[in-house]
Amino acid sequence: MAWHDFRAGRVDVHARLRPASDGRWAAPRQLTSAPAIDRHALLFSRGHEFWMLYETAQEYRVGATIQRRLRLARIGREGLEQPEGGDGPMSEGSEGPAVAWDDEGRLWIAWLDPSGAKGSGWTVRLSAWTGGSWLPPLRVSSAKGMDRPPDLVVNGHEVLLLRQWDNMPPSWTNEAVADASRSAISLEAFDPGSLPAPDPAGWRPLEESGKPFTPAQLRADRGEDRTGWTITHAGRDYRLFFGDLHEHTDDSPCGRERDRSIDESDQHMRNLAVHDFACVTDHGYGLNSYLWHMTAKPARINEDPGRFLTFLGEE
């Protein structure tokens, strides 16, 4: 299993193996160590090998993430290994992957592409890694959708893709328009045609970005790991609490391909910004019934009693 964890001012991916031979969990391993955000690991296997797709990103404020992209790696005994050919089309901006092997050994990957115009949402792209190169990425459809990863299956020579799409505009004017919006799930089949035979895969140790992570440095410089902030006034001691009561997420169509999910936003307000309380406040006129309940559920889940208080709200 794999997960991301916040330690030492950054987010890294960790993993743990439970061999079938004795059923005991091995010691956890830290797989990434870049001074940035590494998260959302997708584990998969081939034979006796463990592989991983994970997201690496920089950020410039609590509510938004930039330079977000996926990395393909194989988990070796000495650490992560990357393909000799690099990450191919995923190096230009990608998230939310799904994977499937075909019978000849090609790795098919579908992912979300957030590179459209502001507020437009995500499209789905599809490509395959053949061991030595990548197939040109296919834009599955021009229809935009939410931050919902696709599903992918390869059946013989047919590639099957399940994806969400909607007709949400870059901005809504009122709740009636929001309630009239349409969201759907499409199952699509692709015949890739004649493909080159897979090449032997070349691997080398993973090269992680050494780009400084400014938020972590600011956090350390300002002593935000300190707890129990107090002031004394008129002979009495008062405890100080810090929080953020206005934060947008990808539920707001005005900037949904830039803003983070509610879970990601809460994680960063709790861990990186060291808030005591927080509230996600997406545009009220854009919150239909579905999005409102998708706002309320993380507000309940992400509360950490005694450490992090969440409120439910809207703008």
| Domain ranges within the chain, ordered by starting residue | 2-205, 214-312
Task: Give the pLDDT band (50/70/90) at residue 2.
Answer: very high
Q: Which whole number is the average pLDDT over 189-212?
A: 89
The structure tokens listed for 16 are: 């743990």
Helical (H) or strand (E) element with 161: strand 158-166
Specify the DSSP element, H or E, that contains 44. Answer: strand 37-46
Q: Which long-range contacts (CB under 8 A, 24 or more apart) does 151-156 make?
A: 151/98, 152/98, 152/99, 152/100, 152/108, 152/109, 152/110, 152/126, 153/100, 154/100, 154/101, 154/102, 154/103, 154/108, 156/103
Indicate the pTM of the whole model.
0.91
Give the per-residue pLDDT at 62: 59
> Nearest CA to 307 among 227, 202, 189?
227
pLDDT of residue 109 exceeding 80? yes
Residues in the chain: 315
Is the pLDDT at 226 greater than 70? The verdict is yes
Q: Is 257 helix (H, G, I), strand (E, B) or coil?
A: coil
Residue 253 φ/ψ, nearest 5 degrees: -70, -10
**Residue 31 identity (one-letter amino acid):** L
What is the band of 158 on the pLDDT scale with cuts at 50, 70, 90? very high
pLDDT for the residue numbered 119: 62
Strand order in the sheet with 151-155: 151-155, 158-166, 183-190
Of 285, 9, 3, nearest to 171 (Cα)?
Answer: 285
CA angle 231, 232, 233 (to 5 degrees): 120
172 half-sphere exposure, CB direction, 13 A CA radius: 21
Residue, of 20 and 127, whose pLDDT is higher: 127
Q: What is the mean pLDDT of the chain?
A: 89
